[in-house]
């Protein structure tokens, strides 16, 4: 059992009663100990997938196993291995953070004394201990998000699923949450993270899957994915009107953006002398130049952008 | 989850429910105490003194078991609908749904919480009645078992209501249009023997009549229905509603998509 992957999903499907096909046969493996990013645009199927893993959504077909335990057939065993931080706030606003954490542990059958010790540990680590006895409704948005993480840690899960945990959280708190997540991952907890902050996935995660329209469109290591960015794009501001016909230097793609702007795409590491020589020969003067934002965001748009709709 | 862990989980839900009842005592314990005191004053003392006796008891003594049962039923039902629907509405029911707890433990925890509130309110109302009349308990076992069964039955009914409810109106409809009429027509304020036919026969279709009658039989020895049919109705309802409730929870109706 110890060699089983943290998550093993085979041909997972979900069609809602209204006919919406949210998952169209997803196959995915997350190894034990990984810090894994699951990315996708809104409505791609991420939350449905997480809902199935946490048993809040019933799958229409396929199978998901957590450390070898089938989620549907052995729900109770599987749930004991998982901690979930959902995207939407789902706290009882009238309870105190300390009670919320202790009760959550109780739902997993953890005795009250142990639950109290764990609650203090995780509320302290997430800098909420001084708010432990306040009403949850008095907490700020960022504090509520951290409280949901503390709550998810009460059963000390082997697999922690964080569904956009840093949405709407300021950068300082976001970084402290990153540190916490990296810490528990180093301590052996497998982490699956969905986020819209692509730099978050890029800086935290070792492996990544991109989901779009209910299908996995990319599943690889972060390093391999970023290595696919073998081209760089520069934006050139021209001193005069851009001519209709642009030169075509070898290995460089030039695109007219507007009458004063041109984009140049060329292989990473290639010198720019050829580009400027060609532009000069065509009588095009460049006033300034900047690198177009790229890396993960660019890949994400390429993989999930318009025209990528799966059948 | 092993048995010990399930007990811990059950205890957690019950504790949370009891803490909720005590935290909002002004909404859970105080209103029935005030309402029933008014019933005792108006129906028992002011009007009851002009009515005479029923089955050999003063009107005040006669209606007291009915008013206690009415409090138990409405508070058991109200507790579970507001608590479980509140958890659904606030989405923190997911705390339990993503845990390894089996459905029976979740149901057991909520029903126990609702029964505890029902019995606590029943005890308060009974204590208040002693300011107005003298009461005896002829058969403690019948008294205790009938009030417990009635409380469980209406806790289960309230749970089913909360599972299907999509908005707060949905948990107010049944108490207003079903529970209150059935309670008032269930022999709380009168003996069905006083009713002419066909109303007497029709009254026998009201399950609350059997509960009030059994409880009154336990306290005063003056029930309208024999204990055998009364227990059969209560046990039958408990089994049917329990089966429906656990089936809904297992299938995740209104809870899982």
For the stretch B241-250, pLDDT in tens is: 999 999 999 9
pLDDT at B213 over 60: yes
Q: How many residues does chain A have?
A: 311
Q: A104: which chain B residues are within 8 Å (Cβ-Cβ)?
A: 95, 99
| Closest partner CB to A56 (pick from B1, B90, B94) | B94
Shortest Cα distance, chain A CAs vs residue B204, angstroms = 42
Distance of CA B7 to the CA centre of its chain: 24
pLDDT at A1 over 80: no
Q: Do B9 and A79 touch (CB under 8 A)?
A: no
Whether A142 is in a domain gets the answer yes
Whether B202 is in a domain gets the answer yes
Q: Report the residue of chain B nearest A114, measured CA to CA.
A: B8
Whether A225 is in a domain gets the answer no
At A225-256, the pLDDT tens digits run 777 767 778 888 988 888 878 888 888 888 88
Residues A170 and A65 in one domain: yes
User: Greater confidence, A161 or A195?
Assistant: A161
Residues A15 and A132 in one domain: yes
Q: How far apart are CA A207 and CA A213, in angstroms?
A: 20
> How much is the pLDDT for A310?
39
Q: A58: which chain B residues are within 8 Å (Cβ-Cβ)?
A: 252, 256-257
Provide the CATH number for the domain around residue A99.
3.40.50.300
Residues A44 and A187 in one domain: yes
Whether A265 is in a domain gets the answer yes
Whether B75 is in a domain gets the answer yes
> How much is the pLDDT for A305?
63
Shortest Cα distance, chain B CAs vs residue A209, angstroms = 24
Q: What proportion of chain A, given as a percentage, has pLDDT over 70?
A: 93
Whether A157 is in a domain gets the answer yes
Q: Is the dihedral of CA A105, A108, A110, A112 positive or negative?
A: positive
- The number of domains in chain A is 2
B173 contacts chain A (CB < 8 A): no
| Closest partner CB to A106 (pick from B12, B91, B102) | B12
Provide the CATH number for the domain around residue A273.
3.30.70.1560
ipTM of the predicted assembly exceeds 0.95: no
User: 3-state DSSP call for residue A61?
Assistant: strand
- The number of domains in chain B is 1
User: Greater confidence, A244 or B57?
Assistant: B57
Residues A144 and A288 in one domain: no
pTM given for the model: 0.84
Final residue of a structural domain among A220, A245, A278? A220
Task: State which residues form the domain around A144.
Answer: 7-220
Residues A166 and A245 in one domain: no
Residues A150 and A88 in one domain: yes
pLDDT at A74 over 90: yes
Whether A14 is in a domain gets the answer yes
pLDDT at A309 over 50: no
pLDDT at B187 over 50: yes
Residue A311's pLDDT band, with cuts at 50, 70 and 90, is very low
Whether B145 is in a domain gets the answer yes
> How much is the pLDDT for B151?
97
At A95-126, the pLDDT tens digits run 999 999 999 999 999 999 999 999 999 999 99
Residues A83 and A161 in one domain: yes
Q: A76: which chain B residues are within 8 Å (Cβ-Cβ)?
A: 1, 100-102
Whether A298 is in a domain gets the answer no
**Of the candidates B150, B176, B167, which has an alpha carbon nearest to the alpha carbon of residue B231?**
B150
Angle at A48 between CA A2 and CA A77, to 5 degrees: 30
| Closest partner CB to A58 (pick from B8, B92, B252) | B252
Query: Which of B99, B251, B252 best probes binding to A when mutated, by most A CB atoms within 10 angstroms?
Result: B99
At A187-211, the pLDDT tens digits run 999 999 998 777 778 888 889 998 9
Backbone angles phi, psi at B123, to 5 degrees: -65, -40
Q: How far apart are CA A60 and CA A23, in angstroms?
A: 9
Calculate mean pLDDT across residues B150-172. Answer: 94
Mean pLDDT, chain B, as a whole number? Answer: 92
Whether A300 is in a domain gets the answer no
Per-residue DSSP letters for B184-240? HTTTSSS-GGGSPTTHHHHHTT-HHHHHHHHHHHHHHS--SS-HHHHHHHHHHHHHH
Residues A192 and A272 in one domain: no
Whether B256 is in a domain gets the answer no
Q: Do B100 and A77 touch (CB under 8 A)?
A: yes
Residues A200 and A267 in one domain: no
Whether A60 is in a domain gets the answer yes
Task: State which residues form the domain around B31.
Answer: 3-251
Of the listed ranges A59-63, A257-261, B158-162, the least confidently predicted one is A257-261
B254 contacts chain A (CB < 8 A): no
CB pairs under 8 A between A and B: 87
Shortest Cα distance, chain B CAs vs residue A111, angstroms = 6
> How much is the pLDDT for A51?
94
Calculate mean pLDDT across residues B150-159. Answer: 97
């Amino acid at each position: 059992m110890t060699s089983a992957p943290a998550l093993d999903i085979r041909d997972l499907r979900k069609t809602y009663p209204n006919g919406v096909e949210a998952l169209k046969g997803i196959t995915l493996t997350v190894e034990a100990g990984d810090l894994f990013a699951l990315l996708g645009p809104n409505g791609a199927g991420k939350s449905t997938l997480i809902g199935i893993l946490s048993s809040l959504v019933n799958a229409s077909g396929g199978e998901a196993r957590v450390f070898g335990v089938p989620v549907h057939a052995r729900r109770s065993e599987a749930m004991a291995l998982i901690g979930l931080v959902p995207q939407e706030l789902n706290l009882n606003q009238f309870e105190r953070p300390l009670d919320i954490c202790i009760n959550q542990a109780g739902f997993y059958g953890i005795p009250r004394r142990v639950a109290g010790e764990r609650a203090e540990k995780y509320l302290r680590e997430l800098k909420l201990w001084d708010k432990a006895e306040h009403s949850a409704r008095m907490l700020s948005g960022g504090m509520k998000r951290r409280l949901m993480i503390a709550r998810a840690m009460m059963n000390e899960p082997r697999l922690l699923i964080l569904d956009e945990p840093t949405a709407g959280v300021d950068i300082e708190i976001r970084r402290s949450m990153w540190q916490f997540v990296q810490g528990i991952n180093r301590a052996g907890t497998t982490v699956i993270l969905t986020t819209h902050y692509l730099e978050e996935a890029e800086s935290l995660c070792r492996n990544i899957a991109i989901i779009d329209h209910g299908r996995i469109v990319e599943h690889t290591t972060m390093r391999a994915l970023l290595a696919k960015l073998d081209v760089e794009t520069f934006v050139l501001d021209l001193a005069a009107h851009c001519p209709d016909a642009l030169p075509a230097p070898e290995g460089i793609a030039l695109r007219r953006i507007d009458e004063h702007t041109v984009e140049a795409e060329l292989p990473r590491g290639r010198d720019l002398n050829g580009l400027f020589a060609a532009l000069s020969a065509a009588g095009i003067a460049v006033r300034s130049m900047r690198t177009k934002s790229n890396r993960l965001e660019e890949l994400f748009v390429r993989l999930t952008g318009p025209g990528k709709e799966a059948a | 989850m092993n048995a010990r862990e399930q007990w811990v989980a059950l205890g957690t839900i019950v504790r949370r429910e009891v803490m909720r009842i005590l935290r909002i005592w002004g909404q859970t314990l105080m209103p029935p105490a005030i309402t029933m005191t008014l019933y005792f004053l108006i129906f028992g003392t002011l009007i009851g003194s002009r009515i005479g006796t029923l089955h050999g008891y003063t009107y005040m003594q006669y209606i007291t078991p009915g008013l206690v049962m009415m409090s138990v039923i409405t508070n058991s039902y109200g507790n579970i609908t507001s608590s479980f629907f509140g958890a659904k509405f606030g989405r923190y029911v997911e705390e339990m749904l993503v845990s390894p707890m089996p459905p029976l433990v979740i149901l057991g925890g909520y029903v126990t919480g609702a029964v505890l509130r029902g019995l606590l309110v029943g005890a308060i109302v009974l204590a208040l009645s002693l300011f107005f009349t003298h009461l005896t308990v002829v058969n403690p076992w019948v008294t205790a078992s009938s009030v417990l069964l009635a409380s469980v039955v209406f806790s289960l009914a309230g749970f089913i209501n909360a599972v299907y409810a999509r908005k707060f109106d949905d948990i107010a409809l049944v108490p207003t249009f079903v529970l209150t009429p059935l309670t008032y027509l269930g022999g709380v304020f009168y003996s069905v023997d006083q009713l002419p036919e066909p109303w007497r026969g029709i009254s026998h279709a009201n399950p609350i009549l059997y509960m009030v009658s059994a409880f009154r039989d336990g306290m005063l020895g003056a029930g309208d229905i024999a204990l055998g049919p009364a227990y059969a109705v209560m046990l039958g309802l408990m089994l049917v509603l329990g089966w429906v409730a656990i089936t809904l929870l297992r299938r995740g109706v209104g809870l899982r998509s």
